[in-house]
Every structure is written in structure tokens, then in C-alpha cells.
Amino acid sequence: KAGVTQTPRYLIKTRGQQVTLSCSPISGHRSVSWYQQTPGQGLQFLFEYFSETQRNKGNFPGRFSGRQFSNSRSEMNVSTLELGDSALYLCASSSDRGPLNEKLFFGSGTQLSVL
Amino acid sequence: GQNIDQPTEMTATEGAIVQINCTYQTSGFNGLFWYQQHAGEAPTFLSYNVLDGLEEKGRFSSFLSRSKGYSYLLLKELQMKDSASYLCAVMDSNYQLIWGAGTKLIIKP
């Protein structure tokens, strides 16, 4: 069974640009979550999608948005990039059999550098 | 506010035992997770505790005390491949995961 796939692996952008990151979950998983990871900080929750609907959202500005397609693949978009957006963006999928003990399967992430 | 505390870095010797602590203050509690993350790789699930006590899984064990807001991950017979960051996360009353900053574990020969 293929794991969670994130593309691209690395990305370099300049301030003010926008970027789109892609995530393909494990086959059969309908829940996809996005996290931002920076050195010294815990994973910061961005949002979660389930069956094409945003089910949960973290405390990030509106420049961060996402969507999920009917095949459960998800994209995350960041507009008007700022230097502080430089981070590893992780996507995780789960089978969503229930809210408890729902372990996440993570992709290797997209390392975004904003210059 | 919600808070998860873990030591930033720990060092241990190959073959020894190490205990990584995690304390938390969250709005409600629906379980505590431990994940392992090797440098440049995806975090992978290690354990889940929702009831007090010790859960053992091979060389790794995880303990929870809900009354103290405390958990630890115990790694026995350390191997070089155990060098990684260990992430503690708590599921709050809204079923959202709150993550600690992670503990970088360095294993020396």
C-alpha cells in the first residue's frame, strides 16, 4: 500500500508570490490534515478535510487555504508569501473510523523556503 | 491556553534506557500520542494512551497519568537507529491534536 505522497519535496519562492502544495493520501483514507512544522515549534495545525469538506481549521490567516477533491487528494495554497511562512508543510491522512485513537500517516513534507 | 512541554534534547548511550517526559495542559483530554520523526522524514506513530498506566510495545513503552497531566516514553536497549525526534501530542475536547515541540534524542556509541 503506497504511503502519503506530497509534492513537491522542496520549493523556493519569493515574498509576495503564492504557492500550491499537493498531497495524495493513502488509498481509502478520506481524512487529510495539514500541518506547519518549524524548528523549535510543535506541529501547528492548519486544517483538516474530510469528503471534500473542511471539517476543522487552525489559527492561521486567510492567506492559507486548502481544498480536497473527490478522490481525497488535497491541495494547500498560500498566497502573498511572507518570510515567516518558510517551514516544512506536512500532510497526514487517516482512515477516520472514529475520533479516538485515530493515528495519522504522514507524508515526508514539502520544505518551503521564502526569500 | 493549551500547552505541551517536552525537553528539547536528550543524549543517551547505545544499549541503555532513556525516558522522555511530556507534560500537558489542555482543554479536555481524549488521548495522548507519541510519534517518532527521523531527520528529513515523516513522523510515524509509536503509541496511544487514553487510560492511566503503562502500555508496552517491544522496546518502547508509554505511560500516562491523567491526574498529573503527564506522560513518558521509555526506550530500552537503545540502538543507533533510535536517534530521532520524539513528538508528544494530546487530543483535546474538540478532537484536535495539540503538539509538543519534540525531543531530539541523540544516541552515542
Q: Using CA atoms, how far apart are residues A52 and A57, in angstroms rounded to an integer?
A: 14
Q: What is the pLDDT of residue A100?
A: 61
Q: What is the pLDDT of residue B10?
A: 98
DSSP state of A25: P
Q: Using CA atoms, how far apart are residues B94 and B81, in angstroms rounded to an integer?
A: 35
pLDDT(A1) > 70: no
Q: How far is B79 from chain A (nearest CA, A)?
A: 23
- Mean pLDDT across B23-51: 94
Cell representation of residue A46: 492548519
Q: Which residues of B touch A3 (CB under 8 A)?
A: 42
| A40 touches B: beta carbon within 8 Å | yes
Question: Is A34:A55 a contact under the CB 8 Å cutoff?
Answer: no
For the stretch A35-78, pLDDT in tens is 999 987 889 999 999 989 998 899 999 999 999 999 999 999 99
Share of chain A above pLDDT 90, in %: 77
For the stretch B44-100, pLDDT in tens is 999 999 999 999 999 999 999 999 999 999 999 999 999 999 999 999 888 888 999
Burial of A96 per CB tally in 10 Å (0-12, 13-18, 19+): middle
| B46 touches A: beta carbon within 8 Å | no
Q: What is the pLDDT of residue B72?
A: 98
Q: Which residues of B touch A99 (CB under 8 A)?
A: 30, 91, 95
**Contact yes or no for B30 and A99 at CB 8 A:** yes
Identify which has the larger pLDDT, B34 or A98.
Answer: B34
Q: Which residues of B touch A44 (CB under 8 A)?
A: 99
| B50 touches A: beta carbon within 8 Å | yes
Q: What is the pLDDT of residue A103?
A: 87
Share of chain A above pLDDT 70, in %: 94
The CA distances from residue B106 to A96, B10, B71, in Å, are 34, 6, 20
Quote the radius of gyration of chain B (alpha carbons, Å).
Answer: 13
Cell representation of residue B62: 508509554
Cα B43 to the center of its chain, rounded Å: 12
- Mean pLDDT across A78-97: 92
| B83 touches A: beta carbon within 8 Å | no
Question: Nearest Cβ partner of A108 from B41, B50, B94?
Answer: B41
| B58 touches A: beta carbon within 8 Å | no
